[in-house]
Amino acid sequence: MRAGSRLEKVLRSGRFAVTAELNPPDSADPQAVYERALVLAEVCDAINATDASGANVHMSSVGVCALLTRAGYEPVLQVSCRDRNRIALQGDLLGAAAMGVRNVLCLTGDGVQAGDQPEAKPVFDLDAISLLRMASTMRDEGRFLSGRPLETAPHFFLGAAANPFAPPLAFRAQHLEKKIDAGAEFVQTQFCFDIEAFKQFMASVRDLGLHERAFLLAGVGPLRSAKSAEWMQANVPGVVIPEAVVRRLRGVPADRQRQEGKRLCTEIIQQLREIPGVSGVHVMAFRQEELVAEIIEAAGLLPRRRPDAAPPRSRRRSPH
């Protein structure tokens, strides 16, 4: 145990872990964060605070984590290299550690052209691999990249993202190996809608022994409709949705497609649990947090935690 986070304990104990993304609000009201976190906390081992995903501005990941730790939740800080240089990134990591954040997901970040402000100037001083090395250096060696020593080193459970479906497919596991070599201890993948392609990826992961060096959580999520699936395929970087999935959604009336998308997500989770080397799932339900609990229950993954691991109810209702 390096970080002592609840997520780390669950994974190292051999339990099938569940994490989920909290979609940050376009608001300065902390209650918007607490309301979304409340529906996730009882069914998840940790909650990801996204960092301007898709290059669109929302409440910052550090801000969301500050609210989550204040309320007693287990956050995963997502850190993107797109918007900050190494000076700001190191400062954010120290600040997050001081707030009690123990889980950090290191990302390169989507390009600014993917978002609604393409005129923004990207930074990309580091990428995900060099960010992982930097965070590992701060944690393990107690120093900044400059060599200046830290008075107190942060304690982090470091994570990385992986996209098993991005070409060239044959090199996806080798690319993941570089991130694990750089310090990644857990991995959350892009949406998994193509089970057969994911099985091939996991076979390569096992051949390299990566499943014994890091915990892999497969990305899943409910599709609202056939139209939303087509939109994601065309507009969300890295998402691959097989035509068979879209046809399945089109095959039911429009008013039942949301339920069909939830059913499909549940089936995918059940199939993923049978794949050797998969340590959990990461649920991404954009603006559909209320469905996460239903999906996790339907997939047979409840109860999630021991009663003594849950935050006090009074703190969850009123964290001020």
Q: Around Cβ 54, how many Cβ atoms within 10 Å?
A: 16
For the chain, the residue count is: 320
Question: Over the stretch 191-201, which tens digit does the pLDDT of each residue have?
Answer: 999 999 999 99
**Which pLDDT score, from 0 to 100, does residue 49 have?**
97
Q: Is residue 72 classed exposed, middle or buried when 0-12, 13-18 and 19+ CB atoms within 10 A define those classes?
A: middle
Q: How far apart are CA 61 and CA 310, in angstroms?
A: 22
**Radius of gyration (C-alpha) of the chain in whole angstroms:** 19
Handedness of CA 81, 87, 92, 98 (dihedral sign): positive
Beta 46-49 vs 17-22: how paired, if at all?
parallel
Q: Around Cβ 274, how many Cβ atoms within 10 Å?
A: 9
Residue 161: φ, ψ to 5°: -100, 155
Residue 4: φ, ψ to 5°: 75, 20
**Which pLDDT score, from 0 to 100, does residue 305 have?**
56
For 8: left if phi > 0, alpha if psi spans -120 to 50, otherwise beta; the answer is alpha
Question: Over the stretch 12-37, which tens digit does the pLDDT of each residue have?
Answer: 999 999 999 998 999 999 999 999 99
Whether domain 6-317 has CATH 3.20.20.220: yes
- pTM for this one? 0.92
* Tokens 């939740």, located at residue: 73
Question: Over the stretch 52-68, which tens digit does the pLDDT of each residue have?
Answer: 888 899 999 999 999 99
